[in-house]
Amino acid sequence: MPGACTVQYIDHIGIAVNDIEVSIGFFRDAFGIQSSTITVMEEHGVKAALLWVGQTRLELLEPLSLETTVGRFLQRRGEGLHHLALNVSNIGQDLEVVKARGLRVIDRTPREGLTGMVAFIHPESTGGILMELVQSIE
């Protein structure tokens, strides 16, 4: 039996939104939460912004088109929780652990994301929650 995927902490919570500017304004006005700059990530098909909430972050994701993963998510489910990101210290090793345990992965190898190297685990393997493993870039 392979070892465990060792999670250090919740890295961030991804939230799919229709309009990132409106959502940033909502979190600022309702809760006093300030945002980072908006980053366009063409390779992921999103505009993204991070909002610090205590020791964790909210990651707002606006699709660049309805044909992207986040765009299709919004069409099916509307705005809301998109994924839960877990910080790990060795993403390559931890991704191999989850694959060896039979979890269905979306990313066979880690790739660059907004907050570091990332790899997604399919919600079919995690009780309906899209999970993201993140190794922070230091």
CATH of residue 119: 3.10.180.10
pLDDT in the model for residue 138: 63
Q: Report the share of the chain in percent with pLDDT over 90.
A: 89
Cα–Cα distances in angstroms (integers) from residue 138 to residues 8, 30, 48, 135, in the given order = 15, 32, 20, 9
> Is 26 among the domain residues?
yes
Stated pTM of the model: 0.92
pLDDT in the model for residue 74: 97
> Is 59 among the domain residues?
yes
Q: How far is CA 108 from the centre of its chain?
A: 16
pLDDT in the model for residue 70: 97
CB atoms within 10 A of CB 39: 12
* Sign of the dihedral defined by the CA atoms of residues 103, 89, 68, 126, in that order: positive
> Is 104 among the domain residues?
yes
> Is 1 among the domain residues?
no
> Is 13 among the domain residues?
yes
Q: How many structural domains are present in the chain?
A: 1
Model pLDDT for residues 90-126, shown as the tens digit of each residue: 999 999 999 999 999 999 999 999 989 999 999 999 9
103 and 121 Cβ atoms separated by less than 8 Å: yes
> Is 58 among the domain residues?
yes
User: Domain containing 115: what range?
Assistant: 7-136
